[in-house]
Structure 1
Amino acid sequence: MELVERPAARATGSALRPLAQLLLDATFDRPGVFSDELGRVTGEELWEAGLLHRVTPAVARAVRGWSEVPEAWRAPLEVGRNRQMLRHLRALEDLKVLGAALDRAGIAWVVVKGATLASVVWPHADMREYYDLDLLVQPAAFRDAVEIVEAEGGRLLDRNWPALRASRRGELAMVGRHGTHVDLHWHLAVAPSVRRAFALDVDAMLARRRHRELSATSVPMLDPEDQALHVAVHAAQAGANRLMWLADAYYAAQQVDWDVLCDRSRAARAEVPVALVLDRAYRVAGEPGVPHPGFERAAAGSWGRLARARDARHPFPGLPGDPRLGGAVYSAARASVVASAGHLVALHARARRDGWRHRTGRDVAWPLQQDVPDAGARDAYFAAAASGERR
């Protein structure tokens, strides 16, 4: 993917601050320009901005050959890059162990998100930051998959079975033999509300999986269209407010058949959020918009116009300390304006409630990683997973 010749990105037509432009250039693999103003950015400011957008390794790679780089930048950037490469190598080792065990058991699975995006979607494996190894297994075999991870030296972190039964989360947090945090999924939509909103067919995705080379090992991954659909829906639910998530969608889109992606997005009732994320990603990358008429129509609809108007008021990417860094307009995007507006109201109400609980010390959240044995709740949770329930 050669992006060097693309124009410098402008989300709104107004000039970005030098640090924001550096993050953007590094994320989209473009040569940046050093300036005196950029030179006044401290190492701490650079580090915090990289963490916010999860692109510190990309920045480290982009400025490695600059003679003008302030000395205060070098240590934090190298630390960020080296830590990511160590996480990546450790994740690959746990992937080899767990993948081989799942294959021996005859369980259909794919690796999603971090490891695959860094290795086969982004231009270079040392650009994308990630912390977890995400594996999706067929829902009917989820309980067996958990036992396999444990048999291979892993352990469960989520052990509050009454809370898990109540939450009906589509994943369990685990740790692999080599210390990698493993998110073992029986569904790509973790929250039941997202499963209700978007009809992501996990079994069909697993049936379409393809094997790709990952560090000299052939591993199963989602096909290009399912991968792009997944990362765009994930980005939307997260607020589409980090450069890493937008770059995931942008780079994944370079490998798709657009008509197939549009058809699958429409079938999943996810055409609007996918269109909005791709539209923002392409605009941030300096391109006029999504190169497909179906997605362009969806992005130009009422909710898309709201998202674009919001971007015009608050140029992207924002930096630490900026107001309005959230992305509720993107998180709320649903198939219709009415559904989107209703979800936006619910998001704001939840934010106010959570803020009130935090301020008053009345946060009653029950940590999922508290050890609360309950055989009945455990069985109920795994039964829900096996059914692939979307409630």
Structure 2
Amino acid sequence: MVGTPDGDSWATLPRRLDRRTAAWLVDAVAPGSRRGSWSPGQGVPEGLLTAAQIHGVEGWVRQRALTSGVVLDGVDVAVHAVLGRHQRALVDLGLAHGALTAAAVRFLVVKGPAVTRWYAEPSLRSYVDLDVVVAPEDLGGALDALEGAGFTLLDANWPFLLDADVHELVLRTPSGGALDLHWSLGPSPMSIDRSPAFGVLHGRSVEFDAGPVAVRGLGDADAVVHLAVHAAASGGHRLVWLTDLRAAITATAPDAAVLGRVADEWGARPALDLMLGRLRRVTGDARSQSYQDGSWHPWSLVDGAVTWVSPPERTATGGSLSRLVARSSRQTSAASLAALGWKSLSRTAGALTRSAGSGGDLSPAQRADPTSPTSARRPVGGAAGRSEFVRRVRERRR
């Protein structure tokens, strides 16, 4: 989930960043990577802080401002908000841990606190929600346990959710935050989900401290692959996803052969190769190259060309060629190229439809509006719909 910077609405956020703003952001996460950035005499690019919030690198920007002597109004408040969300998430995770443990529901924590532990300090990892994974057969029990502990299920449009074939449900936490309850970690819809079964992931999981409780997260190789899968499925353009990969690789130093085998299990070699390539090209991080597999070179060549034409770090909230390519990543290069062709045709058709005056995509606010017929939060189906949904998820387990 990506939140909008405080004070900005979805409609007013930039769809694309200018080169100078993007250069300052990249130099913040990889100092020295862009010539001429962060010089006190140059003047701060307009909208730099908003761009940092969109890319989830507020802490990096503050750190770079301090070391370079650049004054950036509002950055301290933005970083305090990052730390506040992190502390709230740890409290909510403690409540979720207690509820699920008491109900004997096994779970894994991914992203958020699971990734923050690899950073030098929590202010460098901005996130807005918790992500918890349970086995498909435990979904019903997990929902009951969390609701009993004060969590509120927001998704309620059961026919819509079944038709969309989602792999997560959203709950509001007792503190007002959000918890995404997953039973699968592959890209949605589940028809293209090739992530390993929960039992396999749990068997390779590791324990880590998250505030006052110890929880389990993905094993090192699984965590790196999942970061790549999630980033590619979301467009692969936000700098926070690149710093996540860099932090994970630096902290865990996974064996290249093991990482390759795990990526094969996930059906994610192209996604991993694409995101590692972007990490190297955007930030100059050379370590990522040792984990790239030459057998996926065609897809890497495609993304290399796209990155040159449509730099991912310049994408803000709108569509771009780099996002389209990343989201087309499939099990093989050939399948990825086919998906890219199909998505390109669909996007062209969608643009023609919108130009003819037939609406267009809904904003995130509209999708979350419980009165919208296309919102997952519109109450449809009631208790019977919920039971049917849980049954369908349970029967799809592997």
- TM-score, normalised with respect to structure 1: 0.84
CA change 1:17–1:354 in 2 (3 A) is closer
1:368 Cα offset (Å)? 0.4
CA change 1:346–1:375 in 2 (3 A) is farther
* Code of the aligned partner of 1:339: A
Mapped partners of 2:62, 2:396: distance in 1:
41
Quick check: 1:348 aligned with 2:344?
A: yes
Quick check: 1:172 aligned with 2:174?
A: no
In structure 2, the partner of 1:336 is 332
Match of residue 262, structure 1, among 243, 260, 270: 260
> How many residue pairs get matched?
365
Quick check: 1:140 aligned with 2:142?
A: no
Deviation track 1:284-343 (CA, whole Å, cap 9, x = no partner) reads 2313463436x23145x2121111111223345216599946421121122333311221
Identity across matched positions, percent: 27
* 1:1-391 map, 5 Å: 17-28=19-30, 34-35=38-39, 38-42=42-46, 45-69=47-71, 73-75=72-74, 77-118=75-116, 120-189=117-186, 191-193=188-190, 195-254=191-250, 255=252, 256-288=254-286, 290-292=288-290, 295-299=292-296, 301-318=297-314, 324=320, 326-352=322-348, 354-355=350-351, 356=353, 359-361=357-359, 366-389=374-397
CA change 1:132–1:335 in 2 (3 A) is same
Gapped regions of structure 1 (runs ≥ 5): 1-15
Mapped partners of 1:345, 1:112: distance in 2:
32
Deviation track 1:37-60 (CA, whole Å, cap 9, x = no partner) reads 741423xx1123213312123212
Contact 1:107–1:141 (8 Å) recurs in 2: yes
* Code of the aligned partner of 1:24: V
In structure 2, the residue corresponding to 1:292 is in which secondary structure? helix
Contact 1:289–1:296 (8 Å) recurs in 2: no
Contact 2:137–2:397 (8 Å) recurs in 1: no
Contact 2:187–2:230 (8 Å) recurs in 1: no
In structure 2, the partner of 1:13 is none
Mapped partners of 1:174, 1:322: distance in 2:
26
In structure 1, the partner of 2:369 is none
CA change 1:172–1:350 in 2 (3 A) is farther
CA change 1:20–1:190 in 2 (3 A) is closer
Mapped partners of 2:100, 2:225: distance in 1:
25
* Code of the aligned partner of 1:176: T
In structure 2, the residue corresponding to 1:347 is in which secondary structure? helix
Contact 1:27–1:127 (8 Å) recurs in 2: no
CA change 1:321–1:156 in 2 (3 A) is closer
In structure 1, the residue corresponding to 2:293 is in which secondary structure? helix
In structure 2, the residue corresponding to 1:327 is in which secondary structure? helix
CA change 1:146–1:307 in 2 (3 A) is same
* Code of the aligned partner of 1:225: A
Gapped regions of structure 2 (runs ≥ 5): 1-17, 362-371
CA change 1:223–1:269 in 2 (3 A) is same
Mapped partners of 1:218, 1:154: distance in 2:
20
* Code of the aligned partner of 1:341: L
- TM-score, normalised with respect to structure 2: 0.83
**202-211 or 330-339, which moves further after superposition?**
330-339
